[in-house]
Amino acid sequence: METRFELSAVRIPSSARPITFDASRCVGCNRCMNICQVDIFIPNPEKGKPPIVLYPGECYYCGSCVMVCPKPGAIHLDHPLMNQAKFVPVKRPESDETCGDMVSGVPASD
């Protein structure tokens, strides 16, 4: 006697929106779903449609899904603001000399 279980999933609400799809470019191949390290996607029940981002808050922002996609521009990875920060050279207050040995405006100890 074979026992069958029906699995279901519920989309988890999150303010994070790490992945957006361009539905006009996505072919629904699910390569992004298969490569995802943290399994945030499930296949879309409609053939040829982008997968559903079920657990957006779990995204590592690794970019694997973007790299494996056969259609450039079909997936856009939106890094959180804190990941978009760039390091800029800090100038010493007493001169115009650019200092590469400073972190957050604090001089490195000698």
Each residue of 14-52: pLDDT tens digit? 777 899 999 999 999 999 999 999 999 999 999 999 999
Considering the domain delimited by 19-82, tell me its CATH architecture. Answer: 2-Layer Sandwich (3.30)
pTM of this prediction exceeds 0.75: no
Torsion over CA: 67, 68, 73, 77 (sign): negative
DSSP string, 30-91: -HHHHH-TT--EE--SSTTSPPEE--GGG-----HHHHH-SSTTSEEE---GGGS----PEE
Each residue of 49-92: pLDDT tens digit? 999 999 998 999 999 999 999 999 999 998 887 776 765 666 76
pLDDT at 110 over 80: no
Domain borders along the chain are 19-82
